[in-house]
Structure 1
Amino acid sequence: MAKGLALQIGWRFLRGRNNNGFVSFISLSSVVGITLGVTVLIMVLSAMNGFERELKERLLAVVPHGEFVAAAGTLDDWQKLAAEARAEPGVEAAAPAVLIQGLLQRGDGMKPVSLRGIDIEQEGTVSAAPQFIDAAAWQSLQENQANVVLGAALAQHLNVDVGERVSLLIPAPDARQAPRRQILTVTGLFKMGGEIDNSIAFTNIDFAAKVMGVAGPTSVRIKVSNLFDAPGLVRTIGFRQSQYMMLEDWTRTQGHLYSDIQLVRMLTYLVLVLVVAVASFNIICSLVMAVRDKQAEIAILRTMGMSQSSVLTSFMVQGAVTGAVGCLLGAAIGSLLAWRLSELVGWIESTMGITILSGDVYFIDFLPSQLQLSDVLLVTVLAFIVTLVATWYPAWQASRLKPVEALHR
């Protein structure tokens, strides 16, 4: 019964704040501050989840998880290397490739490119590239001809379209000689978003080998089940080979992106505590003023036999309700905005004529979002705990109030 009475009185105190306009304003500010903090943090965490999803499903779906590149010339017995890689636990597939680093030129336009000579029968096992390329364009790479499929942004930069030709410039073996030139026909375009569209192109593996003057593949690429096992698997397989080769994995080429995402996520949780802590100061202020405003009522209740713990509970209820309302409103608004964050940012870009994420700088050219229930619950619970802790001190001060002194004042 004592707990029920304390809760009832706490609720009456909370509703009775309208008698003091300034206290009500501070209380409302507390709710708004917590709501904004929780809303923003849920949106930021959802954006980080979206970046991580796009990194795995878009960029790392095309970028090789691991790669064995010949130090010079071709890989000796690449079929054996690929078979050993497929037999290694944790490796899903392996496929050969010929890598060409050069420049694409059309007219006055020039752009560096990483041209990949691929076997379309095996490429789909290690890469999601076929999902982003038209079927007819993909089949054109089956022929040992000067066909190339370009990223959409790369084609736009060179002002070239399907059916037109571009020049591929490759460094000559002798630095004193002019670069070698190869004319390529554009048979298709792909759009994956971000830097991939600006820097990668595909051609037939046999044609690429002929252009490079090599007898076979210069690399074997692998796809692994667990992305974080890639460095260890590449070293394990590579150290068993007798030929000199370079060992590459996604953590060396794209690992900085994943590290940046995790760093921002960690900082976001830190910001959560700080933002909610700032909002909690308003709760402390409002409760301190509420205690001063309710001194007579507290003294009367104490003389009527109300215990210190009941008084403490009454004021804790006020702070808890304020924090709960702010947390729940923030969770609801933040979840709604995070759910449609990509469309919202796209609308802002089109309305204001600005670009928030440029594909020339970032690995994607849009703001992704993935709302997760665990993030919503974690942010909401942590915010409520912080506000509850902030409530304790003024409530404790109210419980220590001496009835005689309060009535005298």
Structure 2
Amino acid sequence: MVAGRYLRARRRDTFISVIAALTMIGIAIGVATLIVVMSVMNGFRDELLSKILGLNGHFTAFPIDQSFTDYEDVKLRLEEVDGVISAVAFVEGQALATGAYNSAGVAVRGMSMEDIEKLPLLVSSATLGGWEDWNALDGVAIGSRMAHQLGLSLGDPITIVTPRGIQTPFGSTPQIRSYPVNVIFDVGMVEFDSFFVFMPIQAAQDYFRMYSEVLREGFDELPLMATDEEIDDAYERRYQATAVEVFLRDPDATWAIQTQLEMAAGRPMIFTDWQRRNETFFSALQVERVVMFVILSMIVLVAAFNIISSLVMLVKDKGGDIAVLRTMGATRASIMRIFCMTGTAIGFVGTLAGFVLGLILAINAESIRAWVSEVLGIALFPPEVFLLSSLPSRVDAFEVSVVLVLALTLSFLATLYPAWRAAQYDPVEALRYE
């Protein structure tokens, strides 16, 4: 009851009440800021992880030798390993893509429709066109940002140039071919939407000359003056792949399953998992999360110091009341509890307000970003810098609990010294000049 009376403002206590109100606001802002920032960083990590692992496997297996013609058999063997969802083979190479208005360096990846269907993120992201008859059509799929950059739309030709062309007595000639755009996709990640060109795997194998020609059985030798048709009939093309990607049920189980995959491959291959490929990137994100949490916790700490100052002022103002309570039989512990409850109540109300405000902001982060960008006329969190086309946010219950416990603990600790000082008041000295 006494602690509650001290929290309610009276005319002569207005200044102290204003300090207490500002302290509550400071704690609320600190708690809300921590919740919003941690939620947005969680959203960034989850979104990047889902996009990266949605198109890139948890393992990428590269052949040690150059004649990777048995990639279909390797795929089937890897998919039989317990814990593996699927395996896809692909052909990949660097090239220059030219459209109606511009040119850009791209990564050309050849995949069969059977393997593309194992990538739900890519299949569902088609905004124009479709993947029907993918293997039969001699076309490509490009991202929406690449289409905008090159000035291309559905059905327009895109010219792809690579220096690895046909060998002649004068050197290698560039390989230049044009393909119609059959699919325009929007994954939502700038790296994929502006850099990757997908085409049927056999078209990519022909384009990058990923095959070897071997003499068919029964053709021990060819006539000296053999025609082109006879040469084509005599030789068989054995197509190769660049690598195989493996998708796991548990992305964090890479270390436990790598040995099984190496044995199941049936041939020497180098396996690299997604953690090693993106180690620097995700380590930087983790360090940033920890640093941001520590820095923003200082806001709550400063607000907790304000609790100390407001309680010290309250104790000074209530010196006579403390002396009267002591003469009426109140113990030092009782006096200490009164002021601990007063300060903790300030911290509790501020923490509760910050919790509600933080949840509202974190859940509606993207809507708020879009509204602020529209009002100010500037691009907040531009996708070219932050890699994502929207501001993701994911509220983690454990992290929110840590923030609330931290705020309440600091608020309680801040009350101990002023409450202890109040408990040490000598009634005789306090009432001498009353």
TM-score normalised by L of structure 1: 0.91
Contact 1:196 1:363 in 2 (8 A): no
Aligned counterpart, 1:280:
304
Aligned counterpart, 2:367:
343
Aligned counterpart, 1:87:
80
- Give the SS at the match of 1:167: strand
- Give the SS at the match of 1:188: strand
Please point out which of 43, 53, 59 is paired with 1:50: 43
Larger Rg: 1 or 2?
2
Aligned counterpart, 2:95:
102
* Alpha-carbon distance in structure 2 between the residues aligned to 1:48 and 1:285: 34
Question: Which letter does structure 2 place at the counterpart of 1:404?
Answer: V
* Alpha-carbon distance in structure 1 between the residues aligned to 2:105 and 2:73: 33
Please point out which of 389, 393, 401 is paired with 1:369: 393
Aligned counterpart, 2:422:
398
Superposed CA RMSD:
2.3
* Alpha-carbon distance in structure 1 between the residues aligned to 2:277 and 2:77: 24
CA 1:231 to 1:349, structure 2 compared with 1: closer, same or farther past 3 Å?
Answer: farther
Aligned counterpart, 2:261:
237
Superposed CA deviations along residues 49-79 of structure 1, whole A, max 9, x for unmatched, are 2112312333321122211123564424223
Please point out which of 147, 158, 171 is paired with 1:155: 147
Percent of residue pairs identical: 29
Q: What is the deviation of 1:189?
A: 0.3
Bigger drift between 395-404 and 268-277 goes to 268-277
Contact 1:43 1:338 in 2 (8 A): yes
Matches within 5 A, 1:2-401: 8-16=1-9, 18-71=11-64, 73-107=66-100, 109-126=102-119, 128-133=121-126, 136-143=129-136, 145-172=137-164, 177-193=172-188, 194-213=190-209, 214=211, 215-230=239-254, 233-234=257-258, 237-238=261-262, 245-401=269-425
* Alpha-carbon distance in structure 1 between the residues aligned to 2:29 and 2:290: 19
Bigger drift between 294-303 and 21-30 goes to 21-30
Q: What is the deviation of 1:163?
A: 0.6
Q: What is the deviation of 1:223?
A: 0.5
Bigger drift between 51-60 and 296-305 goes to 51-60
Question: Which letter does structure 1 place at the counterpart of 2:72?
Answer: Q
* Alpha-carbon distance in structure 2 between the residues aligned to 1:291 and 1:201: 71
Contact 1:291 1:394 in 2 (8 A): yes
Answer 1 or 2: which has greater helix percent: 1
* Alpha-carbon distance in structure 2 between the residues aligned to 1:27 and 1:141: 67
Question: Which letter does structure 1 place at the counterpart of 2:126?
Answer: I
Contact 1:96 1:118 in 2 (8 A): yes
Question: Which letter does structure 1 place at the counterpart of 2:187?
Answer: M
Q: What is the deviation of 1:291?
A: 0.6
Question: Which letter does structure 2 place at the counterpart of 1:202?
Answer: F
Bigger drift between 172-181 and 360-369 goes to 172-181
Q: What is the deviation of 1:271?
A: 2.9
* Alpha-carbon distance in structure 1 between the residues aligned to 2:13 and 2:126: 67
* Alpha-carbon distance in structure 2 between the residues aligned to 1:102 and 1:236: 35
Question: Which letter does structure 1 place at the counterpart of 2:386?
Answer: Y
* Alpha-carbon distance in structure 1 between the residues aligned to 2:392 and 2:70: 43
Superposed CA deviations along residues 285-329 of structure 1, whole A, max 9, x for unmatched, are 000011111111101111111000000000011101100110011
Question: Which letter does structure 2 place at the counterpart of 1:197?
Answer: D
Superposed CA deviations along residues 208-252 of structure 1, whole A, max 9, x for unmatched, are 111111213221111011212236644653477675544333224
Aligned counterpart, 2:231:
none
Aligned counterpart, 2:216:
none
* Alpha-carbon distance in structure 2 between the residues aligned to 1:309 and 1:320: 16
After the TM superposition, list the runs of 4 or more consecutive aligned residues in structure 1 that deviate by more than 6 angstroms: none
Q: What is the deviation of 1:369?
A: 1.3
Question: Which letter does structure 1 place at the counterpart of 2:180?
Answer: T
CA 1:244 to 1:362, structure 2 compared with 1: closer, same or farther past 3 Å?
Answer: farther
Question: Which letter does structure 2 place at the counterpart of 1:164?
Answer: D
CA 1:314 to 1:108, structure 2 compared with 1: closer, same or farther past 3 Å?
Answer: same
CA 1:242 to 1:374, structure 2 compared with 1: closer, same or farther past 3 Å?
Answer: closer
Bigger drift between 55-64 and 216-225 goes to 55-64
Give the number of aligned pairs: 401
* Alpha-carbon distance in structure 1 between the residues aligned to 2:123 and 2:76: 23
CA 1:115 to 1:190, structure 2 compared with 1: closer, same or farther past 3 Å?
Answer: same
Q: What is the deviation of 1:192?
A: 1.1
* Alpha-carbon distance in structure 2 between the residues aligned to 1:19 and 1:99: 78
Question: Which letter does structure 2 place at the counterpart of 1:230?
Answer: T
Bigger drift between 252-261 and 235-244 goes to 235-244
Unaligned segments of structure 1, at least 5 residues: 1-7
* Alpha-carbon distance in structure 2 between the residues aligned to 1:371 and 1:18: 42
Question: Which letter does structure 2 place at the counterpart of 1:189?
Answer: I
